[in-house]
Every structure is written in structure tokens, then in C-alpha cells.
Chains A and B, each alone.
Chain A
Amino acid sequence: GAVVSQHPSWVICKSGTSVKIECRSLDFQATTMFWYRQFPKQSLMLMATSNEGSKATYEQGVEKDKFLINHASLTLSTLTVTSAHPEDSSFYICSALSLGQTGTPSSNTEAFFGQGTRLTVV
């Protein structure tokens, strides 16, 4: 099946610094990518929807100036956690929808997930 690669797998950073996480679709084009955050023993929470060539759409309660999303190409979206604090420590996961046979995502096109990035802010 299709592959979504996320990098890095884990990162430790100092409080106040910024961290960039990359999400790449390796063998398909993805006009839409999603960023999730997962705290221990909780489900995935959608943070934002990233659309190639346009501004991301953020879910309620997610600060767009803190979590910068750039979707510059059909195969790459990045999430930058700016001025990270210990409460930002979490497991961040990206996913991508394939375009499907019609060239657009539909309810019959599966989402592929990256392996996740564990961020620890100290």
C-alpha cells in the first residue's frame, strides 16, 4: 500500500525552541494532509487540515501561530511547533488522503498515516 513517511520519529527539545516535523507521501500525491496530536492513553485529536498551496484549516482551540503548517508540494507537509513548552509534549501524527481514481479524495479513499513523532519538551 501507499506509504507516508514522518520525520523525525522522536525529538527532545528545550523549552522555547521550535521544532519542525515533516510528513511526506512517498508514492502518491496528496492534496490534503491532516495533523493529529495524541496524548497518553487518549485518542487522536485532529489539529488541522493542510491543503497544498493554500492556508491550513485549524480545529477549534488549536493556535495557528503556534502550530505552523506548510504544504508546499503534493508530497510534503510540515508542522512547526514554535516556542515549544512542556505542555506541547505529545505524539504528533500526520495522514494523507490519496486522490483516488477520480483525482479527488472521496469517502472510498483510505487515509495513510505516518509513524508518528514523539515530541518531548524539557
Chain B
Amino acid sequence: DAKTTQPPSMDCAEGRAANLPCNHSTISGNEYVYWYRQIHSQGPQYIIHGLKNNETNEMASLIITEDRKSSTLILPHATLRDTAVYYCISHSGNMLTFGGGTRLMVKP
């Protein structure tokens, strides 16, 4: 699995959009980009994934650059309950290797 790099922490005001970046410059052609989040003392929760097209679901949007070397997870209207560690992972089908993630703090 390709290595991903994310900023260690970010703050976001409640109600505003949270944009979480991820670099995956060594990603290979068949590896999907997955996003999970982990709320304190719980297992990771799936958010969204994509290969090369932008994706949207009820939780978030995923924007992948044309060269696939980076992506951005967008939480359109962050709430206090979105405070968590967000992990960007490239997935080759064998295993998921977690990097350090981004600790998102949503503030009132």
C-alpha cells in the first residue's frame, strides 16, 4: 500500500466546511483512496472511497486530483460530533496500513 501523508491536526468552526488534505504521491493505478475516521476509543468508521473520480455520499465528498497524487476529504457542514482522527489510506486489496491521520477539532 502506498504511503500517505496528512497534517497532524486541524481546527474547524462548527457549521463550516472542513477540508482535510492527503498526499499519496506513490499511489499505483489500482489502489483506491479510502477515508476512515476514529472517534476516541472506538474502532475506525468508514467514510468514503474513490479511485479517480470525485465521490459524494451522505457523510462527505472526496476530491481526487487528476494525477491522483493527492485528495481532499470535505465535510460540508462540520458538527461537534465530527471531532475525530481522520485517516487517509491507499488500499491495494490486501490490507489497510494506517498513517498518523489528521486530528480534526470542530469548535463551537
Binding site for B on A (CB under 8 A): 1, 4, 6, 34, 36, 43-46, 49, 91, 93, 95, 105-116, 118
Decide: A1 near B43, CB < 8 A? Known: A34-B96, A43-B101, A44-B98. no
> How far apart are the CA atoms of A107 and B51 in the complex, in Å?
9
> How far apart are the CA atoms of A109 and B31 in the complex, in Å?
11
Tell me the residues in window 75-96 of chain B with beta carbons closer than 8 Å to chain A beta carbons: 87, 91-96
How near does chain A come to B27, taking the closest CB pair, in angstroms?
11
Is A113 in contact with B93, judged by CB distance below 8 angstroms?
Answer: no
Is B99 in contact with A43, judged by CB distance below 8 angstroms?
Answer: yes
| Contact among A1, A107, A112, A114 for B91, CB-based, below 8 A | A107
Which B residues lie within 8 Å of A4 (CB)?
43
Q: Number of B residues contacting the other chain (C-beta, 8 Å)?
A: 26
Is B46 in contact with A107, judged by CB distance below 8 angstroms?
Answer: no
Sampled A-B contacts (15; CB under 8 Å) = A34-B95, A36-B98, A43-B99, A43-B100, A44-B38, A46-B98, A49-B94, A107-B30, A107-B32, A108-B49, A111-B34, A111-B91, A113-B36, A113-B43, A116-B41
> How far apart are the CA atoms of A105 and B100 in the complex, in Å?
25
Nearest-CB residue, chain B, relative to A2: B46
> How far apart are the CA atoms of A113 and B107 in the complex, in Å?
27
Nearest-CB residue, chain B, relative to A36: B98
> How far apart are the CA atoms of A46 and B51 in the complex, in Å?
24
Q: What 9 A-B pairs have minimum CB-CB distances, sorted nearest first?
A: A113-B43, A107-B93, A44-B98, A106-B93, A113-B44, A107-B32, A43-B98, A116-B43, A115-B43
Which A residues lie within 8 Å of B49 (CB)?
108, 110
Tell me the residues in window 5-59 of chain B with beta carbons closer than 8 Å to chain A beta carbons: 30-32, 34, 36, 38, 41-46, 49, 51
Which A residues lie within 8 Å of B94 (CB)?
49, 105
How near does chain A come to B32, taking the closest CB pair, in angstroms?
5
> How far apart are the CA atoms of A91 and B98 in the complex, in Å?
15
How near does chain B come to A120, taking the closest CB pair, in angstroms?
13
Which A residues lie within 8 Å of B43 (CB)?
4, 6, 93, 95, 113-116
